[in-house]
Amino acid sequence: MKRCVAALATLFLGLLPAHASEDLVSGLSQDTVEITSNYTGTDIVVFGAIEHPDDGGINDVIVVVRGPDATMTVRKKDRVAIIWLNRDQATLQGMPSYYYLASTRPLAAIAARDTLQRYGIGLANLTPAKIVSHHDPEPFRQALIHHKQLDGLYGETPAGVEFLSPTLFRVHVPVPATVSRGQYNAEVYLFRDGNVISAQSTPLFIDQTGLERRLYSFARTSPLSYGVSAVLMAMFLGWLSSVIFRRGN
Amino acid sequence: MELYLPIAEMSVHWLIILGMGAAIGFLSGLFGVGGGFLLTPLLIFYGVPSTIAVATTASHITASSISGALAQWRKRAVDLKMGLVMSAGGLAGTVFGVWLFGVMRRSGQMDLVVASSYVILLGTVGGLMLNESLAALRAVRSGAAASAARSGKHLWLHGLPFKMRFRQSRLYISVIPPVAIGFFVGVLSAIMGVGGGFVVVPAMIYLLRMPTNVVMGTSLFQIIIVTAATTILQATSNFAVDIVLALLLILGGVIGAQFGVRAGERLRGEQLRLLLALLVLAVAIRLLFGLVIEPSDLFSVATVTP
């Protein structure tokens, strides 16, 4: 995972002018989100500072938080006789399980479409690594993005970057209860006059802790004992209730 | 307070789940049924993924059947031999059903198969029950005793080979019908998350001609074995049992059941059956609407489990 972050960093450095990373500093309010039994979603804060804001030109900040990639199947219902059933489907590989974007202005005003596409910035520019489908995949990709938006797992807020001073900014990133676990990346881009002049990526880990963690890994690593425990629990509670009830009578 | 379900990976309000368990427990105490056929759709309407709903409901039925089975066992009203023969068929059916469940889930037809099997089964059973209870009510009103005498006639089923003596049921019949019934119910349990009492009990009475005093105990015995097997198989092959959800449902269920039993004592048998028939038909119609009405959103998204 460290290697992955390092690769990403060199990628960014390779794309950018050599001194550029000094223009932008960013960080996260927390580097891990722990899913506990009363977890109902949370907010993380991405904050940062632009070092030389007065160099001339227009500065824009875009913050993207991206979840681990997943493979998702999108199905479309069709009417067969009188029943609606799933007919056509597309499997999209390498789409982020979570994507949240905040920017200082609407994306179209910040940079040209092909610049945004190159960095994969914006919901409209989210493209899967691979699509397996017998049909035109575009409606399926759009349906996926639409569904993820309804679930609160994809989002785009054009005025979501809040400036506390001419140099200091912050972004509230909503993390709903249904997020998948894994490594997330908070990417901060500094645009000047439509070009990326600086970028930073900070990893964020979301994982279950405590009892949830133990139950989940129990269910995954020894499913047989997990299943047997579920049955024994059910039998014990059923028996216990009959004992209590008989005494109650 | 919200509670996070580790396997379903969603947070639910624990009071709502507890209340659902209690409501189903109440109905199962009232009518003497497991209630899985109501619980699974209810969980799905609430937003629990249908895979998790089906698999987790099985453990709820195990728990709610235990106290009834123990009571019948004490009354010696369990035909152990018959129960074991049916369970053998049931285990095979469960294995097949869980396999089928996995295949359907991968092909995206899971929801369709679950909903349409509910519509067919509940529609049929509900219709038959409605018909029968209305006839019984009419008979009671006109003063005639409802005739339940139907013994003496021999079905073709009883001519099959591999005969076995079931002492407690006072039967000497082929093992094929009980094994086949058990198998069918095992499949239902795996793909619908039901105990199958509403199939087993009529089958025992009308097909196997078992004496009614052992029917309840034997069916409960068989249901416990089949739902326990379903839980274990769903946990091992589909990772679909959420133990936190199961705990909440069971706690609600065992409490609700006690009130249900008491309420049931105040109602007459025919009235109870009429109410149950209406309830079963209502669920069937609700699910039927879901199949035939154009959905507001044609697309659905499923994350492929890594």
> Tokens 């093992």 sit at which residue?
B175
Give the total number of structural domains in chain B. Answer: 1
3-state SS, residue B2: strand
The two three-digit tokens of residue B26, written as one number:
């109440």
d(C-alpha B49, C-alpha B210), whole Å = 38
Q: How many CA atoms lie within 13 A of A16 on its CB side?
A: 24
State the pairing for strand pair A24-28/A162-163: unpaired
Model confidence band, residue B191 (pLDDT cutoffs 50, 70, 90): confident
List the alpha helices (DSSP H) in chain A: 2-15, 107-110, 113-119, 138-150, 210-221, 223-248
Let me know if residue B305 belongs to a domain: no
Task: Look at A20 and B294; give whichever has higher pLDDT.
Answer: B294
B11, part of any domain: yes
Provide the shortest C-alpha distance from residue A162 to chain B (in Å): 30
Check: CB of residue A238 under 8 Å from CB of residue B67. yes
Distance from CA of A14 to the nearest CA of B (A): 33
Q: Inspect the interface and report whether the beta carbons of A233 and B250 lie closer than 8 Å.
A: yes
A126 contact residues in B (CB cutoff 8 A): none
Task: Compute the nearest-CA separation of B53 from chain A (Å).
Answer: 14
Amino acid occupying residue A33: V
Asked whether the CA dihedral A152, A155, A159, A161 is positive or negative, the reply is positive
AA identity, residue A22: E
Helix (H) or strand (E) holding A198: strand A195-208
Q: Which tokens is A59 given?
A: 């500065």
Could you give the CA distance from residue A163 to residue A190 in angstroms, rounded to a whole number?
Answer: 14
Proportion of chain A in helix, strand, coil states, percent, rounded to 5: 35, 40, 25
Question: Would you tell me how many other CB atoms lie within 10 Å of the CB of residue A71?
Answer: 19
Contact B301 A178 (CB under 8 A): no
Annotation: CATH topology of A2-208 = Immunoglobulin-like (2.60.40)
Exposure of A61 by Cβ count < 10 A (0-12 exposed, 13-18 middle, 19+ buried)? buried
Q: Do A216 and B306 touch (CB under 8 A)?
A: no
**A226: nearest CB among B108, B235, B297:** B235
Chain B residue with Cα closest to A210: B6
- Answer whether 0.90 is exceeded by the pTM: no
Specify the length of chain A in residues: 249
Owning domain of residue B118: 2-141+153-292
CB B162 within 8 A of CB B176: yes
**Residue whose token pair is 């044609």:** B298
* CA angle (A211 as vertex; A208, A216 as ends), nearest 5: 60
If one compares B1 and A248, the residue with the highest pLDDT of the two is B1
Confidence of residue B246 (pLDDT cuts 50, 70, 90): very high
Contact check, Cβ <8 Å, A83/B112: yes
Q: Do A239 and B67 touch (CB under 8 A)?
A: yes
Amino acid at A35: I
Nearest to A113 by CA among A194, A54, A179: A194
* Residue A16 reports pLDDT greater than 70: no
Enter the tokens of residue B234.
């769903």
Bridge pairing between strands A154-157 and A99-103: parallel
Chain B partners within 8 Å of A139 (Cβ): 299
The per-type count for chain B, helices as H runs and strands as E runs, is 10, 5
Does residue A106 register a pLDDT over 80? yes
Distances (CA, A) of B30 to B15, B27, B52: 22, 5, 26
* Local structure of A43: helix, strand or coil: strand
**Which residues in chain B are contacts of A216 at CB distance < 8 A?**
6-7
Any domain includes B236 = yes
| C-alpha B131 chain-centroid distance | 20
Question: What pLDDT, on the 0 to 100 scale, is given for residue B110?
Answer: 78
- Note whether A35 contacts B4, CB cutoff 8 Å: yes
For chain A, say whether B304 makes contact (Cβ under 8 Å). Answer: yes
Res B11 pLDDT > 60: yes
ipTM score assigned to the predicted complex? 0.82
For testing the chain B interface, which of A242, A243, A244 should be mutated: the one with the most B CBs within 10 Å? A242
CA B141 – CA B56 distance, rounded (Å): 43
| Sequence-ordered list of residues with C-beta below 8 angstroms from that of B18, at least 6 positions apart, any chain | B248, B249, B251, B252
Q: Assess if residue B202 is contained within a domain.
A: yes
Does residue B148 lie in a domain region? no
Q: If contacts are CB pairs under 8 Å, which of residues 147-186 in chain B contact chain A?
A: none
Q: Is B296 on the interface with A (CB under 8 A)?
A: no
How many other β-carbons are positioned within 10 Å of the β-carbon of residue B57? 34
pLDDT in tens, B86-140: 999 999 999 999 999 888 888 878 778 888 888 888 898 888 888 888 888 888 7
Mean pLDDT within A49-63: 78
- pLDDT for residue B144: 54
Interface test with B, best of A144, A237, A243 (most B CBs within 10 A): A237
| pLDDT attached to residue B16 | 92
Can you give the residue ranges of every domain in chain A?
A: 2-208, 209-249
pLDDT at B268 over 90: no
Which candidate, B60, B50, B176, places its Cα nearest to that of B117? B50
pLDDT at B187 over 50: yes
Which member of A72, A85, A238 has the closest CB to residue B63?
Answer: A238
pLDDT at A233: 94
Q: In this structure, are residues B260 and B21 in contact, taking their beta carbons and an 8 Å threshold?
A: no
* Cβ atoms of A192 and A134 closer than 8 Å: no
B295 touches chain A (CB under 8 A): yes
Q: Of the candidates A55, A175, A58, which has an alpha carbon nearest to the alpha carbon of residue A105?
A: A58
**Tens of pLDDT, residues A114-159:** 889 888 899 988 888 888 888 888 889 999 999 999 988 999 999 8
Identify the pLDDT of residue B143.
64
List B residues 213-232 in contact with A (Cβ-Cβ < 8 A). 224, 228, 231-232
Chain B residues lying within 8 Å of A83, measured CB to CB:
112, 116, 291-292
- Chain B nearest-CA distance from A3, in A, is 22
Please report the number of interchain residue pairs, chain A to chain B, with beta-carbon separation below 8 angstroms.
186
Chain A: nearest CA to B161, how far in angstroms? Answer: 36
Amino acid code (one letter) for B115: A
In tens, the pLDDT along B105-118 reads 888 787 788 888 88
